[in-house]
Structure 1
Amino acid sequence: MSDYEVLEPSRHAQLRIDEQQRTQLFTQRHMVNIELKEAVQAAADFPLFISKVADNSRWAISALCGLAPGENVYVDNLQWQAQYTPLCLQTLPFIMHRQDSTSDPVVLLDSRSPVLSATHGEPLYLTSGRPTAYLNNKTKLLKDRVAAMEQTALLLQQLADLALFRPLDLVLQFRDESQQRVSGLFGIDEQALHALSGDQLQALNANNTLAALFNILGSVFQVNQLIRLHNSKFADRAINNIKLETIKQ
């Protein structure tokens, strides 16, 4: 279980991050957040879906990395099997947290992360107490992600207001002829997208949202790679096919 605390030199001056072990932090993440600005890159590796975050108050883009909680088939023997690494994984074991809408965000460190070391890896601070180039780079990535998350949340709500999301179920068809249904996902409603007015399409194109939407639509073909990776890792639960079923609202 994670235990995040505010990163500061008085407490963490001696810590290092073992980057060689960082992939193990990905292994239990079957759904990975993707920001809108990285959807084009992510769509080349993962099937992308729209989902609601835990509090059900805002929308998010999720890369499906496994077919059961706690399973990430893109990690094999601690090797990352995708070309692209999403921002939310690049920044681990750090997160950036904003106490409220008026305060500046602060960097938090998972004090229980297995990649922390006192003897090897990338140091966080110089002997002067100043952050190292490594930590400065992570902090920049965190700031970029916070900005991308805020932009994604705003744009996805606008897309929801345009009724561009349709609920989907994934029906997993196993080789032993059993089935399993995965619910709670949404896709892009292609018909609704094509029905938008010229002005609406132009507005989406102006901020590169339109390209991201078409890449999310096309990412469905990455389900084939998901099946291949799943079957290679979990031969006893091999899958023949995955069907997408639209759910009537």
Structure 2
Amino acid sequence: MNQHHVLDSLAHRDLRVRTDAGAELGDAVMACLVMPAEFRQAQAHYPIVFRRDLESGTFSALALFGFDNGENLFLDADRWDAAWKPLAQAVQPFLIGRAEPGGPATQVHVDLASPRLVTDGADGVRLFDAAGHASPYLEDIAQKLGDLDAGYRASTAFFAALERHRLLEPFSLDVPLADGTQHQLVGFHIIDEDRLRALDAAALGELHADGHLLPLFMAVASVGRFGDLIARKNRRA
């Protein structure tokens, strides 16, 4: 169970955070959220897919790490086998919290139930120095959280544009394995390339002016990473 608390330099002075990778640290995940502002970096490593929330009906984007729940094909023992991580994965176990009225707009929260936290011993990276000042690691986390929050706020307009122009289509993928068996990936959407190509100049101009055209093309380019992901699965098998 999550235990989210506002990060405090007194209460959490001695906390350390493990920054390595591992299934026991919460990295055994099939996918994580990725913001449109990250699509340029994400498409160099991961397929980008879209998922509709059944309750709200809204879409979000995911960087895909595997084909089954709990499968992360980029997790190699205690090493993450990619040069870049989506911000939502990189900031764990921290998150943005909204402050009470009259306080700062946002606060850094920490999940005290996270296995990444070390409360005694010398493992991990310190969050605060002996005087209670933020460590360089914590300053970097705060910057990443700010970027993630800004990306999340900006993503609403991007997903609204995708739906307005009907640019998402349901997607399924057969995953052939070297042993002759097949898996299937279902339940996601990708960019409808035919509809994207058919957009007129006015629609394309609107998307470009609003900053949506680049992440659209990056999401299309990321589909080429499915071949890499299948190869990873076959090597793992």
Q: Normalised by the size of structure 1, how large is the TM-score?
A: 0.83
The residue number in structure 1 matching 2:107 is 106
1:228 partnered with 2:237: no
- 2:144 aligns with one of 141, 145, 149: 141
One of 205, 208, 212 as aligned partner of 1:205: 208
Kindly provide the amino acid, as one letter, of the partner of residue 31 in structure 2: M
Amino acid of the structure 1 residue aligned with 2:226: V
Give 1:19 deviation, angstroms.
2.0
Preserved CA contact (<8 Å) 1:26 1:72: no
Q: Is the 8 A contact 2:28 2:75 kept in 1?
A: no
In the alignment, which residue of structure 2 is the partner of 1:6? 6
Q: Structure 1 residues 63, 224: CA separation in 2 closer, same or farther (over 3 Å shift)?
A: same
**1:129-168 counterparts in 2 under 5 A?**
129-168=132-171
Matching of residues 169-188 of structure 1 within 5 Å: 169-175=172-178, 177-188=180-191
Quick check: 1:122 aligned with 2:125? yes
User: Aligned ranges for residues 56-75 of structure 1 at < 5 Å?
Assistant: 56-75=56-75
What SS does structure 2 have at the residue aligned with 1:182? strand
Q: What per-residue deviation string (whole Å, max 9, x for no partner) do you get for residues 145-189 of structure 1?
A: 011011113211221111111111223334555444332211111
Letter of the 2:148 partner, please give it.
R
CA contact (8 A) 1:23 1:79 kept: no
Bigger mean CA deviation after superposition, 129-138 or 155-164: 129-138
Instruction: Return the alpha-carbon distance in structure 1 between the equivalents of residues 197 and 106 of structure 2.
Output: 39
Does the 8 A contact of 2:168 with 2:189 survive in 1?
A: yes
What amino acid is the match of 1:211? L
CA deviation vs aligned residue, 1:196-233 (integer Å, no higher than 9, x gap)? 22122122223442122112112111111101111222
Deviation track 1:25-73 (CA, whole Å, cap 9, x = no partner) reads 4532101211111101111111111112474442111111111001100
Q: Using the alignment, how far apart are the partners of 2:52 and 2:212 within structure 1?
A: 19
Separation in 2 of the partners of 1:64 and 1:182? 11
What is the alpha-carbon distance in structure 2 between the residues aligned to residue 200 and residue 105 of structure 1? 35
Cα distance in 2 for residues equivalent to 1:232 and 1:140: 36
Give secondary structure in 1 for the equivalent of 2:109.
Answer: strand
- How many Å separate the matches in 2 of 1:40 and 1:23? 27
Moved more, 95-104 or 168-177: 95-104
Q: Distance in 2 between matches of 1:220 and 1:58?
A: 22
Q: How does 1:16-95 map to 2 (within 5 A)?
A: 16-21=16-21, 25=25, 27-53=27-53, 55-95=55-95
Identity %: 27
Alpha-carbon distance between aligned partners in 2 of 1:191 and 1:53, rounded to the nearest angstrom:
24
Deviates more, 1:45-54 or 1:162-171: 45-54
- For structure 1, the 5+ residue unaligned runs are 236-249
Structure 2 alignment gaps of length 5 or more: none
Distance in 1, matches of 2:45 and 2:152, equals: 20
1:133 Cα deviation (Å)?
2.8
Q: TM-score, normalised by structure 2?
A: 0.87
